């Protein structure tokens, strides 16, 4: 029952992510304030990205509308990217996986944190798609994410007597990850990573929750980045195909948030076997 609800909520919020990404980009390229307001996420009806025709309820059913129309707009017949149904389905899957592998107890604190996490996933997914498209992490999305992560941290801290070491570790994790990116940004003059990655680094470092998790996050992101970029490098496409780092960081964040504790205990177990 909960899973069915999560699939439905995930599909709808996936649809929201698509609109959020598109509107944020339209706003960033809008020349006048009037145009900018027109594309505000809080106003106006959903519209076709090509002909700007406002969409009716039957055009807005996640995945199904896209399938029914075979990926074309009902009004102008231009093709609508497969990104739309893929993002919607991915959100539904992420919500279910988060519920099934939720690392905390489902008391009232755990349930509250779970709800905030669902919101955090909306922003992570939006940043993922945005970075993939335009190689940019917009401040409006990163700061909203930072706000939600802050809220998540406060709920966690307020739920028990915060241990000094725990808080220190939390701050250290965020500073370490953001700091590493800041350093890379300074050294390369913004060539290796962008300023958005630095700000994202602080947010996801805080979300990772500890120094060891931040190190794990960076390791997983680099590993994913290498695996995906390697074929491009081997084909000599690296120069023309710059690969954004954000999507790897975001994927690693979700993995560490949900599975960080299990991964850490797993390789500590390996270390133990190796030593004795």
Q: What's the min distance (Å) between Cβ of 82 and Zn ion? A: 16
Q: Which is nearer to Zn ion, 64 or 233 (CB)?
A: 64
Q: Which chain residues interact with Zn ion by CB under 5 A?
A: 48, 50-51, 73, 75-76
Q: Measure CA 28 to chain center.
A: 19
Q: How far apart are CA 142 and CA 196, in angstroms?
A: 8
Q: How far does the chain reach from its first CA to its final CA, in angstroms?
A: 47
How far, in Å, are 62, 119, 151, 242 from residue 144 at the CA level? 24, 10, 11, 27
CA 258, 259, 265, 267 torsion: positive or negative?
negative
DSSP for residue 73: -
Q: What's the min distance (Å) between Cβ of 111 and Zn ion? A: 41
Number of Cβ atoms within 10 Å of the Cβ of 274: 8
Q: Which is nearer to Zn ion, 35 or 78 (CB)?
A: 78
Please tell me the total number of residues recorded for the chain in this structure.
276
Q: What's the min distance (Å) between Cβ of 38 and Zn ion? A: 17
Number of Cβ atoms within 10 Å of the Cβ of 67: 10
Q: What's the min distance (Å) between Cβ of 25 and Zn ion? A: 17
Q: Which is nearer to Zn ion, 51 or 233 (CB)?
A: 51
Q: Which is nearer to Zn ion, 38 or 179 (CB)?
A: 38
Which tokens belong to 67? 């399938």
| C-alpha angle 258-7-84 in degrees, rounded to nearest 5 | 95
Q: What's the min distance (Å) between Cβ of 65 and Zn ion? A: 13
Q: Which residues pair with 72 in a beta bridge?
A: 79
Q: Which is nearer to Zn ion, 47 or 136 (CB)?
A: 47
Q: Which is nearer to Zn ion, 3 or 51 (CB)?
A: 51
Q: What's the min distance (Å) between Cβ of 41 and Zn ion? A: 20
DSSP for residue 242: P
Q: What's the min distance (Å) between Cβ of 59 and Zn ion? A: 10
Closest CA to 88 of 68, 62, 65, 127: 62
Q: How far apart are CA 24 and CA 145, in angstroms?
A: 14
Q: Which is nearer to Zn ion, 36 or 74 (CB)?
A: 74
Q: Which is nearer to Zn ion, 38 or 215 (CB)?
A: 38
**Cβ-count burial 24-37 (b if 16+ within 10 Å, e if not):** bbbbeeeeeeeeee
Q: What's the min distance (Å) between Cβ of 14 and Zn ion? A: 20
């Amino acid at each position: 029952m909960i899973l069915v609800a999560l699939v439905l909520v995930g599909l709808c919020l996936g649809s929201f992510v698509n609109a959020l990404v598109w509107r944020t980009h339209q706003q960033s390229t809008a020349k006048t304030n009037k145009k900018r307001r027109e594309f505000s996420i809080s106003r106006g009806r959903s519209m076709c990205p090509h002909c700007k025709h406002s969409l009716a309820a039957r055009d807005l059913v996640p995945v199904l509308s896209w399938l029914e129309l075979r990926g074309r707009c009902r009004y102008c017949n231009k093709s609508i990217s497969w990104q739309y149904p893929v993002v919607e389905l991915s959100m539904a899957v992420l919500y279910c996986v988060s519920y099934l592998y939720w690392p905390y107890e489902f008391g009232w604190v755990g349930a509250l944190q779970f709800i905030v996490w669902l919101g955090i996933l909306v922003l992570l997914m939006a940043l993922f798609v945005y970075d993939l498209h335009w190689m940019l992490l917009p401040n409006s999305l990163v700061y909203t994410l930072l706000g939600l992560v802050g809220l998540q941290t406060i709920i966690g801290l307020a739920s028990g007597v915060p241990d000094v070491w725990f808080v220190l570790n939390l701050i250290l994790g965020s500073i370490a990850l953001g700091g590493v990116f800041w350093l890379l940004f300074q050294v390369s003059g913004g060539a290796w990573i962008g300023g958005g990655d630095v700000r994202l680094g602080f947010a996801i470092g805080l979300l990772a929750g500890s120094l060891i998790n931040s190190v794990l996050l960076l390791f997983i992101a680099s590993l994913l980045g290498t695996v995906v970029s390697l074929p491009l490098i081997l084909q000599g496409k690296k120069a023309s195909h710059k690969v954004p780092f954000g999507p790897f960081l975001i994927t690693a964040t979700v993995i560490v948030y949900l599975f960080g504790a299990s991964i850490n205990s797993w390789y500590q177990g390996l270390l133990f076997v190796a030593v004795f």
